[in-house]
Structure 1
């Protein structure tokens, strides 16, 4: 499968995660670890639905699962992984540290709590959920991440919703570049400038709300390209992300859509189609501004 030039400095690798129904490309992170380029997110998946939803995703072939302490479903996600029958080393698991737990010692405690909820021995990727810069604790938080990584409890460490300024502080003050920055990214917010910063510094770009919480599926350009390719609008947008080089984590609780979102490796968008989708950028956010978001701070 050919991809257009990734906008991140990480590369699409040849290492693959085993899957019953497809081979998912992987992105090589700046620490040498690899993450499946297509994963499954569980934001806004209620705890009572999370076990069955993640179990379905794993059955379909997803091998990367993204959760967070703030989602309230780590226990169910962990149980689905443990009971899936898929070897642990074939699943890439991400969780995130919430704002109220930032700080060196509190991060260590929060990590232990998350791992207790998940019921697993190690984590593939740990992210600082938001910079919460007003508290000025994200550098100490990342230092705690480094300590956990040095102990072998986390394989890769990164951040979420960080701006270039936040990233520069982490790099300068800890001496380590985050492996991943997970950010809001969809056709209406393509984050070209931040993706360029990522490319310069070897940070992988991971997209949350990759379908714009469903808003992008109704866009006339996306619908037209879906008709041209014989695919659904969701498949077209996920394919756009993949060809940009983004890691993408669509979410659904509907089994048919979980399967549909995974069926994106047997077609490609043309250069013109890619450019038309990228041209939809209006810099419109759905979620909070990372510079202003302080929920959970005390």
Structure 2
């Protein structure tokens, strides 16, 4: 869960630079600048919570995309993260859902639809911000 400033410190002060950065990455938290930074520095990105901790099923645009592509909402979210250039890591204990989540290599989301899905970015991240200590999370502090 390293942000750019964390990665810069690590790269500057380590003998071995980070190879993987696992971050929250989903339709409402796309982390464009961080993804670009990781690409530029050959750091593989793993995207956790591609289904927005279940909130994806409430988002109308994802419901529309699932119908359009004849896929599940979960498949749309997993494919979205994959097309951003990251490795999506959806969580499930259900064997059928695990198989379904992996069945995303037989379609591609159009560039126009990728932008439409990314419009969910207005909802922002779920959970804690990596740059803000937990005691300040809801105290009105904003880190840009």
Query: With structure 1 as the length reference, what TM-score do the two structures score?
Result: 0.43
Which of 252, 257, 261 is the matching residue for 2:92? 252
Deviates more, 1:265-274 or 1:281-290: 281-290
Indicate whether 1:204 and 2:44 are aligned: yes
SS in 1 for 2:115: helix
Cα distance per residue 1:74-94 (max 9 Å; x no partner): xxxxxxxxxxxxxxxxxxxxx
Name the residue aligned to 2:10.
Answer: 170
Q: Which has the higher helix share?
A: 2
Which of 236, 239, 243 is the matching residue for 2:76? 236
Name the residue aligned to 1:181.
Answer: 21
| Unaligned segments of structure 1, at least 5 residues | 1-160
Contact between 2:79 and 2:109, CA under 8 Å: does it hold in 1? yes
Which of 188, 193, 218 is the matching residue for 2:33? 193
Cα distance per residue 1:236-290 (max 9 Å; x no partner): 1111111111111111112221121111111111121111112221262212111
Name the residue aligned to 1:218.
Answer: 58
Q: Distance in 1 between matches of 2:63 and 2:5?
A: 36
RMSD: 1.6
Displacement after TM superposition at 1:176 (Å): 2.6
Query: With structure 2 as the length reference, what TM-score do the two structures score?
Result: 0.86
Name the residue aligned to 1:38.
Answer: none
SS in 2 for 1:205: strand
Indicate whether 1:290 and 2:94 are aligned: no
Structure number, greater radius of gyration: 1
What is the aligned length? 135
Q: Which has the higher contact order (CA 8 A, sep 6+)?
A: 2
| Unaligned segments of structure 2, at least 5 residues | 136-144
Q: Which has the higher strand share?
A: 1
